[in-house]
Amino acid sequence: MKICTTIAEARAVCRQIRADHRCLGLVPTMGALHAGHLSLVRAAKARCEAVVVSIFVNPTQFGPKEDFAKYPRPFESDCAALEKEGADMIFAPAADEIYAKGETTWVTVEGLSEKLDGGSRPGHFRGVMTVVAKLFHVIEPEVAFFGQKDAAQLAVIRRMVRDLDFPVEIASCPIVREADGLAMSSRNAYLSAEERRRALALNRSLQEVEKAFRGGERNARALAQSGRAVLAREPEVRLDYFEIVDPETLGPVERVTGKTLVAVAAYVGPTRLIDNVVLLESGE
The answer to the question of residue 276 lying near ligand AMP (CB under 6 A) is: no
- Provide, rounded to whole angstroms, the least separation between the CB of residue 61 and ligand AMP: 9
- Provide, rounded to whole angstroms, the least separation between the CB of residue 73 and ligand AMP: 11
- Provide, rounded to whole angstroms, the least separation between the CB of residue 195 and ligand AMP: 17
Between CA 210 and CA 223 the distance in angstroms is 8
The answer to the question of residue 175 lying near ligand AMP (CB under 6 A) is: yes
Q: What is the DSSP string of 88-102?
A: SEEE---HHHHS-S-
Instruction: Mark whether 34 is an active-site residue.
Output: no
x/- map, 146-165, ligand AMP, by CB under 6 A: xx-xx---------------
φ, ψ (nearest 5 deg) of residue 124 = -60, -55
Measured from the Cβ of residue 137, the count of other Cβ atoms closer than 10 Å reads 11
Count of residues that bind ligand AMP according to CB under 6 A: 17
C-alpha distances out from residue 220 to 121, 155, 252, 254, 266, Å: 24, 20, 9, 5, 19
x/- map, 184-213, ligand AMP, by CB under 6 A: xxx---------------------------
The answer to the question of residue 176 lying near ligand AMP (CB under 6 A) is: yes
| Cβ nearer to ligand AMP, comparing 256 with 273 | 273
Active-site residue list: 37
Binding site for ligand AMP (CB under 6 A): 29-30, 36-37, 39-40, 146-147, 149-150, 173, 175-176, 183-186
